[in-house]
């Protein structure tokens, strides 16, 4: 299946994967992946609190990553969206969805 036919993100209830309410994103990646590094840099530059999970290390994070059925990194959870790859417009749209509407 062509990557162009895959959806930009998968929706689901990912609350169980967030360590606490202040964490706005969870990044599953590796230390050597350049796209993971770009994602970390973007989240840090925009002051977005995120959990950084190294899927190269055995443990719960690696098990969580495998449970998604993904084979690529990074996998980013933002709200109810699971985004595979460094897709900046998709990441920005997911982050915008987290912010309360003006006037509320």
pLDDT, one tens digit per residue, over 65-91 is 999 998 999 999 999 999 999 999 999
Alpha-carbon 3 to chain mean position: 18
Can you give the pTM of this predicted structure? 0.89
Q: 23: domain CATH number?
A: 3.40.30.10
The reply to whether 87 falls in a domain is: yes
Sheet containing strand 75-78, edge to edge, reads: 10-11, 81-84, 75-78, 25-29, 50-54
Percent of the chain with pLDDT over 90: 83
The span from the CA of 95 to the CA of 60, in Å, is 25
The reply to whether 104 falls in a domain is: no
> Residue 99: what pLDDT?
75
Assess whether pLDDT exceeds 60 at residue 1: no
Q: What is the tally of structural domains in the chain?
A: 1
Over residues 25-51, the mean pLDDT reads 97
The reply to whether 103 falls in a domain is: no
Residue range of the domain that includes 11:
3-98
The reply to whether 38 falls in a domain is: yes
The reply to whether 76 falls in a domain is: yes
């Amino acid at each position: 299946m062509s990557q162009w036919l895959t959806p930009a993100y998968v929706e689901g209830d990912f609350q169980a994967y967030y360590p606490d309410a202040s964490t706005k994103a969870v990044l599953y990646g590796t230390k050597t992946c350049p796209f993971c590094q770009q994602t970390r840099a973007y989240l840090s530059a925009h002051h977005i609190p995120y959990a950084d999970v190294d899927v190269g290390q055995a443990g719960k994070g690696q098990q969580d990553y495998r449970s998604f059925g993904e084979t690529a990194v990074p996998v980013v959870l933002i709200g109810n969206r699971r985004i595979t790859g460094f897709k900046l417009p998709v990441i920005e749209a997911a982050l915008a969805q987290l912010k309360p509407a003006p006037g509320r």
